[in-house]
Copies of this chain bind each other. A is one copy, B any other.
Amino acid sequence: MKKPAAHLSPREIFGGNLRRLRRLKDLSQEDLALAADLSRVYVSEVERGLRNVSIDNMAQLADALEVELKELVDPDMFQAMQKKIG
């Protein structure tokens, strides 16, 4: 049993998944920003849920991390990932 993953906003879910996945791939915000053709500051703010990011930029970020967009908006991305990885 784990705790029930509080009521996060979609922004926060997206941002959190983005950050965790980025770190998993050992990328800095700047690396990711470059790969997604966005600014580092912008990525930083998206990760913290401060920006109301658009679907185009969400897609670029997903691309840069080589995941599907639906994974990044999934509140349970972690559990899903652990099933895959084992």
Residues in chain A within 8 A of chain B (CB atoms):
9-11, 14, 52-56, 58-59, 69-71, 73-74
Q: Please name the 9 residue pairs, one residue from A and one from B, whose CB atoms are nearest each other, closest first.
A: A10-B59, A70-B70, A52-B54, A69-B73, A52-B56, A70-B74, A70-B73, A54-B54, A53-B55
Chain B residue at minimum C-beta to C-beta distance from A57: B52
Q: Are A11 and B55 in contact (CB-based, < 8 A)?
A: yes
What's the minimum C-beta distance from A26 to chain B, rounded to whole angstroms? 26
Is the beta-carbon distance between B58 and A55 smaller than 8 angstroms?
Answer: yes
Alpha-carbon distance between A11 and B10 when the two chains are bound, in angstroms: 17
Tell me the complex Cα distance, A85–B70, Å. Answer: 21
Across the interface, name the chain B residue whose C-beta is closest to A13: B69
